[in-house]
Chain A
Amino acid sequence: MNSLSGEGYVVELDADRDTVRMAGALRLGGLSEYGPISQMLESALDGRSHLTIDLTGLEFLNSSGIATLSKFVISARNRNECALLIRGSNDIAWQGKSLNNLKRLMPALELQFD
């Protein structure tokens, strides 16, 4: 399993399940520090017809992280090859506030709250 981790967070690609799971608290300092995560998300689209981004364990994401996720969604929309499902949690306050914006960027995106 391909994974990136640091203090308090993990991001991993589960290729068998076509899922990228992001968990913990992500507050990296700016878009360049999110570069490796961006690359993992971007390459997860390669050769797939559907991909799930599982955020049900992501307790905190700063605005640079929200921007990273948003840019990825724009890229998936523009590539137009891969259906995207984003799974969030009703128990995590920021997700209820901010994840809906992603649908504005990519109306075909499926957003599911567990």
Chain B
Amino acid sequence: MSEAHGEIRTIQRDRNTESLDLSFWPGSVPLRQRWRNNGLSADFLGDYVTTFFPLDENDPATRQRQSEIRGAVSFIANELLENAMKFHDDSLPEPITMRLFLHQEEIIFQQINSAGQEAADRFRAFVDRLRNSDPGELYIQQLEEGAASEGSAGLGYLTMINDYGADLAWRFEPLDNNGYRVTTQVVVRI
């Protein structure tokens, strides 16, 4: 049975929704080479959305807004892709996908990867902790306790929440052959 932590939106694909979908099979090239693509993809998404926030020479605030939106999209997309690469289970028949939806007042990211039972359990425990803590305190605590260990996805999510005002939600769907399809959703208001 599918299990949600927070609300994963069902997105209507209509005239008012711009969207981009990326999907890939990480096993096809080594992780080290693939890592480089996280940055390229994230920067591409960041640059892409700026089209919808044009500059007005007479209004300096538009430059700042464009730069902030580009920076936020690029940072969030990069973190989601890095986490997907770290937790994805190549043995499961699922690609990694990243979807970006641009609405009038918000940008929605939905990133999907598969995870084995053990990785999914660890991740679920972290999600529980995150949803039941003060994110500002948890961030400091993770750093002070040296808990920000290798493979920890925590600081990226906490940075999205604390610094970008993002809302996060997750869904775990069991796959037929063990493991889970994990959806991470990030919503930022613009």
Q: Which of A12-20, A40-48, A79-87, A93-101 contacts B (4 or more CB under 8 A)?
A: A93-101
A114 within 8 A of B: no
Q: Determine how close the nearest CB of chain B comes to the CB of A96; give it in whole angstroms.
A: 8
Cβ-closest chain A residue relative to B144? A74
> Which of A30, A62, A70, A97 touches B163 (beta carbons < 8 Å)?
A97
Q: Is the CB of B39 within 8 A of A71?
A: no
A60-79 contacts to B, CB under 8 A, are 60, 62-64, 66-67, 70-71, 74
Give the CA-CA distance A31 to B163 in the complex, in Å.
20
Residues of B within 8 A of A101 (CB): 139, 162-163
Give the CA-CA distance A88 to B47 in the complex, in Å.
22
A63-B159 contact in complex given A101-B139, A105-B140, C-beta closer than 8 Å: yes
B36 within 8 A of A: yes
A67-B150 contact in complex given A29-B35, A94-B71, C-beta closer than 8 Å: no
Q: Is the CB of A104 within 8 A of B140?
A: yes
Residues of B within 8 A of A105 (CB): 140, 143-144
* Number of chain A residues whose Cβ lies closer than 8 Å to a Cβ of chain B: 27
A30-B75 contact in complex given A66-B159, A71-B143, C-beta closer than 8 Å: no
Q: Determine how close the nearest CB of chain A comes to the CB of B165; give it in whole angstroms.
A: 9
Q: Interface 1/0s, chain B 111-126, versus A by CB < 8 A?
A: 0000000000000000
Main secondary structure of the interface of B (DSSP, over half): helix
A98-B39 contact in complex given A62-B156, A105-B143, C-beta closer than 8 Å: no
Cβ-closest chain B residue relative to A96? B68
* Number of chain B residues whose Cβ lies closer than 8 Å to a Cβ of chain A: 31
A1-32 contacts to B, CB under 8 A, are 7-8, 25, 27, 29-32
Q: Determine how close the nearest CB of chain A comes to the CB of B22; give it in whole angstroms.
A: 17
Q: Is the CB of B140 within 8 A of A63?
A: no
B38 within 8 A of A: yes
B74 within 8 A of A: yes
Q: Is the CB of B79 within 8 A of A62?
A: yes
Q: Determine how close the nearest CB of chain B comes to the CB of A92; give it in whole angstroms.
A: 7
A91 within 8 A of B: yes
Residues of A within 8 A of B23 (CB): none
> Which of B35, B36, B72 touches A93 (beta carbons < 8 Å)?
B72
Q: Determine how close the nearest CB of chain B comes to the CB of A8; give it in whole angstroms.
A: 8
Give the CA-CA distance A45 to B143 in the complex, in Å.
20
